[in-house]
Structure 1
């Protein structure tokens, strides 16, 4: 195939060396630096969350296809893209395993540090899509009582098995957020939300920073036994005062498992290939370069809380990521872009 397609690619998308070049002219740039001059004569964009795909970037360009190698799509202005007939795809569910790993490594890790017994606790999941479903399944295996809140699913499936947000907050010992960022969820974790939570509960946000009103969170921080944050308002310029209030703080890397990154890149490349009819890439999946990063199954049956905590920390030592951010919060973006992808584990 002649090289007629020009594709602009976020340089931080992994596993792409030499993959697209046989079929397209490839321009690589740091995601935040991709500008109108780069996309003016491009046919396609492969991006992550740091590239705002809106009129300011795309107006007058020849772009007709955008793939984001991420679950989140809040960096894409769908109204504009739809009005221009642009095809947009995302990598739904690509990092669900990595985020699940983060939630339970962080939860068991902080419980071990603070001497908190998890037995008999109720875990409330707000947002039960690809990530939330996986968190739900693993929570059940680990013996938690699970409450779920997901208004779109309640509307389509009926209320059975779901709780209202007010019920979930009032009854949960742990609340973990897994909603997308959209108009209805922006700032949803506000004063009323935190007031509705139990005193002595645990709050985890590994979704999007902007779902949390951080001023409200700081006002209520003293009520939590533990506060775990992976995502923040105004990244990379995060609130240092809030950072000091957390028990675990990480630089938006919850989903950064090796398998998750493979999944995200594969989804973007496959969608690109199908749109442009590049058959050799229809079933593309990155090779695993390091066998030690192959996913591993963990057996938790019959293990004590302490044994599970040790097992999870061995496979994902979340406190290393916490330490790195606390040491140099000004390096937030570098900690993300230079992150050493970790091995993903699963629990059956």
Structure 2
């Protein structure tokens, strides 16, 4: 079997190498001729799997995306061609939870806020949104959950988007869709942006096109700018560079880029391809991960907000990602966005750090108790 995989997908050689020929390539620039003789294609969100890409695929029997979202894959085309498909739902929800927690603590330091008692709205209450909500509640925040499709399906305890947009912090965790009653393209549009008040905080760690970036720039250039955390951008890897100076935290679509999250994505496709080929699942996820640099801390008291921020930075420093992004943009390098993703340092999840002594509150924030 020949497997073609995105070069940013870890552990493909370890998982597939003993029974398949593994070839890796940049996911954004895959060409149709590279799929000749390929049996399985493994991608991430930057690869558009469509008629054009598959035009020369003569042996393809399996496509997998190591991501939660599937909007970059023409699943109807795969079904018509009899090509099996698999994704990795929930694989990076923990990593995104870590990212948003780190962002909230950075925002709190910037605005001199105590987060306990503040309101956070999660727009999109699926796997990732629920993880973010759990972290926020661990900080003592009041959480509003907004998910119109879930509400229509009968879920309770949800608010509409107008109420969600009144929260102190609004975090977006929706897929990108362009049609239907709940289309998310420019869900945060100019009229909604104009109605927000200056003390509000917006976080986007889902898809760049969910926010109208030009409308945001107009708001930020006015007299009452918002506080923005942006991991995703319209038209990636291109972006509206003029917006970046008006963003508190700017990163290169790496919110879900923990080593564990990427490993879960690859492992989900390993299991799916084993099932597809009727092969035994001979490897285990835990054996892929190295020991963390810091595995435990001893606490004498339950940590306050400032101490939680210090513990988060022991594992993940979001300010370093922001600094790398701004340096890359300032360099003028055309491909800086993809380079940051390709060369992203191994980032462990907060769950790699165990609290010893006082453990109350550890797990709800994502740490190990």
Asked if these proteins are the same fold (TM beyond 0.5), I'd say yes
Distance 1:275-1:162 versus aligned 2 partners, 3 A rule: same
23-32 vs 227-236, which moves further: 23-32
What's the counterpart of residue 63 of structure 1?
A: 60
- Residue deviations 1:80-123 (CA, integer Å, cap 9, x gap): 22322322211111111110111010111122133233232100
Indicate yes or no: 2:125 matched with 1:128: yes
Cα separation, 2, equivalents of 1:11 and 1:256: 14
| Cα offset, 1:235, TM superposition | 1.5
Indicate yes or no: 2:164 matched with 1:164: no
| DSSP-derived class of the 1:157 partner | coil
Distance 1:122-1:289 versus aligned 2 partners, 3 A rule: closer
Q: Is contact 2:271-2:281 (8 Å) kept?
A: no
What's the counterpart of residue 90 of structure 1?
A: 87
Cα separation, 2, equivalents of 1:175 and 1:293: 33
Distance 1:182-1:298 versus aligned 2 partners, 3 A rule: farther
Alignment of 1:197-212 (within 5 A): 197-212=196-211
Distance 1:303-1:237 versus aligned 2 partners, 3 A rule: same
| DSSP-derived class of the 1:97 partner | helix
Cα separation, 1, equivalents of 2:168 and 2:71: 29
Give the TM-score normalised by the residue count of structure 2: 0.86
Cα separation, 2, equivalents of 1:300 and 1:144: 24
Q: Is contact 2:231-2:250 (8 Å) kept?
A: yes
Distance 1:189-1:22 versus aligned 2 partners, 3 A rule: same
Cα separation, 1, equivalents of 2:322 and 2:112: 19
| Cα offset, 1:288, TM superposition | 4.0
Of 125, 139, 146, the match for 1:149? 146
Distance 1:337-1:35 versus aligned 2 partners, 3 A rule: same
Cα separation, 1, equivalents of 2:289 and 2:313: 23
What's the counterpart of residue 12 of structure 1?
A: 8
Indicate yes or no: 2:43 matched with 1:42: no
| Cα offset, 1:18, TM superposition | 4.2
Q: Is contact 1:178-1:207 (8 Å) kept?
A: yes
Distance 1:8-1:128 versus aligned 2 partners, 3 A rule: same
Cα separation, 2, equivalents of 1:51 and 1:42: 16
Report the number of matched residues.
Answer: 341
Gaps of 5+ in 1: none
RMSD: 2.2
Cα separation, 1, equivalents of 2:119 and 2:304: 18
Indicate yes or no: 2:337 matched with 1:332: yes
Indicate yes or no: 2:216 matched with 1:220: no
